[in-house]
Amino acid sequence: MIALTPAQRHAVRLAQASWFALLALAVAWEWQLAPLRAGGSWLALKALPLALLAPGVWRADVKAMQWALLTVPLYAAEGAVRVVDAPPVPTLAALELLLAAGFFCAAIVYLRPFKRAARRRELRR
């Protein structure tokens, strides 16, 4: 097991906060804040991958965090595309983009030592 540095502990907390804020935003966006149709939208199902990975992100599980790193660019792309929509969508899209980028950067900082340790183990074989 790798001992976490203070920077990694801070990074994993930031990644977790960003992940759960992104999950809440995805659900609230399509149900209440700016749904495609009045009364809510089935597009709220876009939060399903976030919800499925949430337990692993909460535990800071390395594999779950790696899967989350593969998933979060989809939300960043959606934020980048929808930032030019009619108000209030640009604000929500910018927030989604910020949360996705924050998660991505923090998760990379957290996971880097695990990747280095795995590479060292592989080289010893």
* Res. 65: pLDDT tops 90: yes
**What is the pLDDT averaged over residues 97-101?**
98
Q: Which residue has the tokens 């992104």?
A: 22
pTM, whole model, 2 decimals?
A: 0.91
* Res. 35: pLDDT tops 90: no
How much is the pLDDT for 103? 98
* Res. 72: pLDDT tops 80: yes
Confidence of residue 3 (pLDDT cuts 50, 70, 90): confident
Where do the structural domains in the chain lie, given as residue ranges? 6-124
Which residues are CB-neighbours of 26 under 8 A, at least 6 positions away? 44, 46, 47, 50, 75, 96
